[in-house]
Amino acid sequence: MEFFNQITQYAISGLSTGAIYALIGLSFAIIFNSTGIINFAQGEFVMLGGVLAIVSITALHLPMPAAVAVAVVGTTAVGLAFERLAIRPLKNATPLSLIIVTIGASILIRGLVMLIWGKDTKALPPFSGDTPIEVAGATILPQHLWIFAVTLLVIVASRLFFHHTITGKAMRACSFNRRAASLVGIGVGRMVLLSFLISSALGALAGVIIAPLTMTAYDVGVMLGLKGFCAAIMGGMGSGFGTVLGGLILGVLESLGAGLISSGYKDAIAFFILLLILFVRPQGLFKKGETDRV
């Protein structure tokens, strides 16, 4: 019974970090689908979300909802500036050089935050207290519930956006065939900008909701970003359920591995999975082979 309770506990905390990976994975996929680049600054957006929320609360004494809004809007503004200043001017660059630009941007953002904010690790207070709730012998923190709720909300909202609004459909069309998209009058540049906005907002949101559980420092984005990337790879870089499932599986495996074997292996597990998938199923775990008609 003791063992079973332990497993449940690991599963719950695994699912909640997995949900975060899923959100970050989705934000990777959105930019990848519209531009063909992997944005390695994605993790910094997650870090910025957490940092901006903490600054809003401790320095500006804003209430929590306002702090969350500041974090998301502020990070989205950084995403906008990033696209305008670093991506758009390099119109005809290859994806590879753009990817290198994103790595540069990630180092720059991390460095600036370190200079301004320092190297301290700080925590955001939980959204609604930290009285644990007992479920099936395991304890759930209210923050876990927040994470599950927000993740669910994001999944539903993105499904609605991509399948039931003309802008969302245009983004999907654009990611499949840019040329044909511009022939029906879709402004491809606009879609790329939009993908950066959505993606940075999503990253920030992930960073805010996990900050109360894991604490935040200027360099948390590196690991979170890579884990999210791993989730996106598991989902085949699609912006749908595959990536969400990939994130959840990754989170649970990591948490079980850390609990049952050794917490030292936590990150190793994630990267072992990442390499395994890149070698064996680079198209993702759940993607069926697509056939094109000519």
Give contact residues for another protein (rule: CB under 8 A).
166, 169-170, 172-173, 176-177, 179-187, 290-294
Q: Which is nearer to another protein, 120 or 290 (CB)?
A: 290
Distance CA 84, CA 111 (A): 20
Q: Which is nearer to another protein, 280 or 294 (CB)?
A: 294
- Tell the smallest beta-carbon distance from residue 290 to another protein (Å): 7
Are the beta carbons of 21 and 269 closer than 8 angstroms? no
In the chain, the amino acid numbered 288 is: K
- Tell the smallest beta-carbon distance from residue 212 to another protein (Å): 38
Are the beta carbons of 265 and 257 closer than 8 angstroms? yes
Q: Which is nearer to another protein, 134 or 290 (CB)?
A: 290
Q: Which is nearer to another protein, 7 or 173 (CB)?
A: 173
Are the beta carbons of 27 and 206 closer than 8 angstroms? yes
Q: Which is nearer to another protein, 221 or 240 (CB)?
A: 240
- Tell the smallest beta-carbon distance from residue 178 to another protein (Å): 10
- Buried b / exposed e over 40-73, threshold 16 CB at 10 Å, is bbbbbbbbbbbbbbbbbbeeeebebeebbebbbe
- Give the DSSP letter of residue 90: G
- Tell the smallest beta-carbon distance from residue 38 to another protein (Å): 21
Q: What is the CA radius of gyration of the chain?
A: 19
- Tell the smallest beta-carbon distance from residue 77 to another protein (Å): 24
Q: Which is nearer to another protein, 165 or 262 (CB)?
A: 165
Tell me if residue 119 falls in helix, strand or coil.
Answer: coil
Residues found in the chain: 294
| Torsion angle of the four alpha carbons 113, 115, 117, 121, in this order, in degrees rounded to the nearest 10 | 90
Q: Which is nearer to another protein, 193 or 205 (CB)?
A: 193
- Tell the smallest beta-carbon distance from residue 210 to another protein (Å): 32
Are the beta carbons of 255 and 17 closer than 8 angstroms? yes
Are the beta carbons of 50 and 71 closer than 8 angstroms? yes
- Tell the smallest beta-carbon distance from residue 280 to another protein (Å): 24
